[in-house]
Amino acid sequence: MEFQIDRRNDLNQITTTKTFLHEKFSIKDLGNLKYFLDFEIARSQKGIHMCQKKYILKMLAEFGFLGCKRASTPMIYSVEFSENSPKLVDSSIYRTLIGKLLYLTHTRPDISQRTQHLSQFLCEPT
């Protein structure tokens, strides 16, 4: 069976889509989406706004940075990485932090470049 969705905001079409999906997958309608996969979703006349403020606060608390001051960039630009630096004893914390920062780049593209740069050192972080 082929099913086509009209892109208009038609209540009848929405109901038909929900019925079709329920028949195929046994879904439940939970109402308007507000929070999903650590994304906060808010609707307005202008469109849909997505943010990860709760995710950021949870991450800052997890790594002990909740009371720290803001910085315009996640790292100092003048820092040079060297292979001669001492290696971390437990690199799992570094890997966890980088993974969380990479997930955060969905709503914070301003940290993408530096997070990607830091992710290059996952094998042997110093």
Sheet strands (E) in the chain: 35-36, 39-44, 47-51
Question: Which pLDDT score is estimated for 61?
Answer: 94
Q: Which DSSP symbol is given to 106?
A: T
Question: Which pLDDT score is estimated for 84?
Answer: 74
pTM over 0.85: no
Tokens 């996640």 sit on residue: 74
**Residue ranges covered by each domain of the chain:** 11-51, 53-126
Low-confidence residues in the chain, pLDDT < 70: 1-9, 73-77, 81-83
Question: Which pLDDT score is estimated for 83?
Answer: 67
Question: Which pLDDT score is estimated for 1?
Answer: 46
HEC secondary structure over 40-71: EEEEECCEEEEECHHHHHHHHHHCCCCCCCCC
Question: Which pLDDT score is estimated for 85?
Answer: 75
Question: Which pLDDT score is estimated for 126?
Answer: 77
